A and B are shown apart, each in its own frame.
Chain A
Amino acid sequence: MIAQTLSETKAPASEQPIFELIEVEQVFEVPKPGRSLFSRETVGLRALDGVRLTVRKGTSLAVVGESGSGKSTLLRVLLGLDRPTGGRALYHSKPILEGRASGIAFARDVAMVYQDARGSLDPRMTIGALIAEPLRHFDIVPRQDEAARVAQLLDRVGLPADAADRYPSGLSGGQVRRVAIARALASEPSVLVADEAVSGLDVSTQAQLLILLQSLQRDMGLTLIFITHDLGVASFLCEEIAIMYLGRIVETGPTDAVLGAPSHPYSAALRAAAPQFFEPLSEPLPGEIPSPLNLPAGCRFSTRCPKAQDDCRLKDPQLGKLGPQRAVACLHPLQPQ
């Protein structure tokens, strides 16, 4: 079954993927809409539905999708914060939750940069204390070298050493993201997970952070998992891309190939919806993303798909192999022109 799923490993077969998600499902029981006051009726919200994903060591993967597509839920499963209700989520071939429960090694190896970087930093701690916390917790350097290492990390993310005495409230939005990155790097992780790490910033700040993340990924051999809704950011930073729609990854592959010639109509629509210089915007997708409480019959994209055919409303396509490195969940993938 694993062989059948996304087997896009370019690397030798002996090399185990860092993360592997096999048919991962996350269903939240939520109060049924319109239930009466005393009713306990619930309905399943399918936040993740049949997610297949392989993350190889040293790669950079962008997870792209609209809000509500399940990116954040996927993230929580990857980080071992939530237990998936179905399927298997593996980290080095072991269940992620097991890895998290069995000591601090997983927490040290997989670091996170939150979208709300300011909120992820304790406002009553100085920047130096915030960066020293993981150093101490994971016992990275002896106490006497701590200050030097903090300065080194600050320098690595492009902040001056005297920032260590500041509080997060005294830094700008771009600077707190750098602090969050420095803090994530402090544990010397091999995987860096970043949730919308550059959204909501000025374009110049965004560019600086992207260049920083790129150089970190290259120089330190980090595996980068980058959650974003910005295709431009994804194509700049990430070798690989996974496009999510309504809780399923509908297309994966090398970023250039996928964005250059999308196979899934949804990828094509996302690509067309990204504003281009000097080009009029193409017609946006009709309608809203359907509710995960009530998934469409057949293919989940069939309600909005411009290419939908009759069988699309009957059969739910899984993510299946398409060429050596790509996979798509579509019954009628687009042919490259």
Chain B
Amino acid sequence: MTVQITKGVADVPIAATPSPAGKSRRSVFIRRPFFTASLLIAAAYVLAAIFAPYVAPFDPVKQDFNVMMKAPSVVHWLGTDSYGQDILSRVIFGARYALIIGIFSVMIGAVGGLIIGLAAGLSGGWAEWGLMRLIDAILALPSLILAVAFIAILGQGVDKVVIAVGLSMIGPFARTVRSDVMQVRVQLFIEAAQLMSISYLRVVLRHVLPNVIFPLAVQVTIRVSEAILVSSSLSFLGIGVTPPTPDWGLMIAEGRDFVSFAPWMSAMPGFALALLLIALSIVGDGVREEFDPKLRRDS
């Protein structure tokens, strides 16, 4: 049997329908000024982190006892700390640690959550029940407490913090992946694929996974800020990265004793942390609203 070409059988001009891509929608950057500003701020952090050695005016760990706890000045823009280290330089280098820890720990959480969530959502029955009760039990603990527990097992250091925070984030990722899998696997296009006798593994790889990965990617952008917050909290509690690493949480903790007469020691890294978290969450929301058709208001 060959497919015969017959012109004119119910020719419908396809151009008559609006296409979401082709419609002259204004650029997202104009429609969402907060998103744009946040994206620029986040980009600035990333650039600062990458080019920290060139941007920072001083060595972040060089102690200068002549300029201890100096208020912000022309030389030291954000002041100096109790060791005479330049706070601006430490904040800039701190962005490195914050972003590295945030991104890599979220990756661990996302990959782990994807595997567990897929396994739970696809297996169904007893295995699913067991996995999800385990996740529920883990989720009963706040991620910070969980991260503290992992640190207690692993010990301190940047790499340990990444692993601890990553492991503590698997639970929420697994739960969202599993609920997405459950939604996708009952869709008609899955049945249509089975009707074509496409193998189970192929259906999972070609149809389930792409429909799950996307919402997961959005989750990742949103949760990077959570990971940064948890890792900074660990350092603030003195169980995260070790001094003299220029970590924001650590810097806030160091300045705590001097907060009445040298408030900039804690305030500057705190401000850097807060600004990054706010920017990241606005970027995450924007990405989600832009790509999730259910949330899109203007199409």
Interface of A toward B, CB cutoff 8 Å:
79, 81, 100, 103-104, 106-108, 112, 114, 116, 119-125, 133-134, 137-138, 149, 152-153, 155-156, 158-160, 162-163, 166, 169-172, 174-175, 178, 185, 187-188, 190, 205, 208-209, 211-212, 215, 219-221
- Smallest beta-carbon distance A148→chain B, Å: 11
- Beyond A79-B195, A122-B210, 13 additional pairs, beta carbon < 8 A: A106-B197, A107-B197, A108-B197, A120-B189, A122-B207, A122-B211, A123-B211, A152-B3, A158-B9, A178-B12, A211-B10, A212-B10, A220-B4
Answer whether A208 and B210 are a contact pair too, CB < 8 Å, given A107-B197, A119-B188.
no
Can you sample 7 A-B contacts with CB below 8 Å?
A107-B195, A114-B192, A116-B188, A123-B189, A158-B11, A170-B18, A172-B17
Residues of chain A within 8 A (CB-CB) of B5 are 152, 155-156
Answer whether A158 and B1 are a contact pair too, CB < 8 Å, given A124-B210, A166-B19, A171-B17.
no
Chain B residue nearest to A211 in the complex (CB)? B10
- Give the contacting residue for B17; candidates A100, A170, A211, A220; CB below 8 A: A170
**What CA separation (Å) do A55 and B17 show in the bound complex?**
38
Question: Do B14 and A211 touch across chains, with their CB atoms under 8 A apart?
Answer: no
Residues of chain A within 8 A (CB-CB) of B214 are 124
B293 in the interface, Cβ–Cβ < 8 Å? yes
Residues of chain A within 8 A (CB-CB) of B194 are 81
- Smallest beta-carbon distance A127→chain B, Å: 10
Question: Do B192 and A112 touch across chains, with their CB atoms under 8 A apart?
Answer: yes
B196 in the interface, Cβ–Cβ < 8 Å? yes
Question: Do B6 and A156 touch across chains, with their CB atoms under 8 A apart?
Answer: yes
Q: Which of B3, B17, B20, B193 has the most CB of A within 10 A?
A: B3
How many interface residues does chain B have, given as a range? 20 to 34
Residues of chain A within 8 A (CB-CB) of B206 are 122, 133
Answer whether A160 and B14 are a contact pair too, CB < 8 Å, given A107-B195, A220-B1.
yes
Residues of chain B within 8 A (CB-CB) of A149 are 3
Closest 3 CB pairs of A and B: A208-B10, A107-B197, A119-B188
B21 in the interface, Cβ–Cβ < 8 Å? yes
Chain B residue nearest to A162 in the complex (CB)? B14
**What CA separation (Å) do A106 and B196 show in the bound complex?**
9
- Smallest beta-carbon distance A53→chain B, Å: 20
Chain A residue nearest to B211 in the complex (CB)? A124
- Smallest beta-carbon distance A226→chain B, Å: 17
Residues of chain B within 8 A (CB-CB) of A122 are 189, 193, 206-207, 210-211
Residues of chain A within 8 A (CB-CB) of B17 are 170-172, 175
Question: Do B189 and A219 touch across chains, with their CB atoms under 8 A apart?
Answer: no
Question: Do A169 and B192 touch across chains, with their CB atoms under 8 A apart?
Answer: no
Question: Do B187 and A119 touch across chains, with their CB atoms under 8 A apart?
Answer: yes
Residues of chain A within 8 A (CB-CB) of B293 are 169
Residues of chain B within 8 A (CB-CB) of A107 are 195-197
Chain A residue nearest to B198 in the complex (CB)? A137
- Smallest beta-carbon distance A49→chain B, Å: 25
**What CA separation (Å) do A32 and B20 show in the bound complex?**
48
